[in-house]
Structure 1
């Protein structure tokens, strides 16, 4: 049996409310940098190639139930 140890790395309140979550997010804002907005250009169809999936992965996906089953 594995003994998992968890160390508190900050103020974490699992029963916190939305105000506490918003406060946590506001304190993290200075640590995040938003990338400059870039305009995506269309890709030429000649550059688009098929996706290759290994047979084992295809079988695994085929055996999974579809969403909503």
Structure 2
């Protein structure tokens, strides 16, 4: 029973994109590990950019800096 947890920032990810992630990850497990799609679980967590850090900075701040440059 595979369980895959995908964590992404909450920056305008559409429902269609989420469906594609679920389908793609499930298909990968079927193709590579011969797992049953009926027992494969995919969970997508959307994380606010204030709660995601890279190095010493929040992603929110990194995005602001990138838009100024």
Whether TM exceeds 0.5 here: the answer is no
Rg larger in 1 or in 2?
1
> When you count helix as a share of all residues, which structure comes out higher?
2
How would you bin the TM-score normalised by the shorter chain? under 0.3
> When you count strand as a share of all residues, which structure comes out higher?
2
**TM-score, structure 1 length as denominator?**
0.27
Larger RCO (alpha carbons 8 Å, 6+ apart): 2
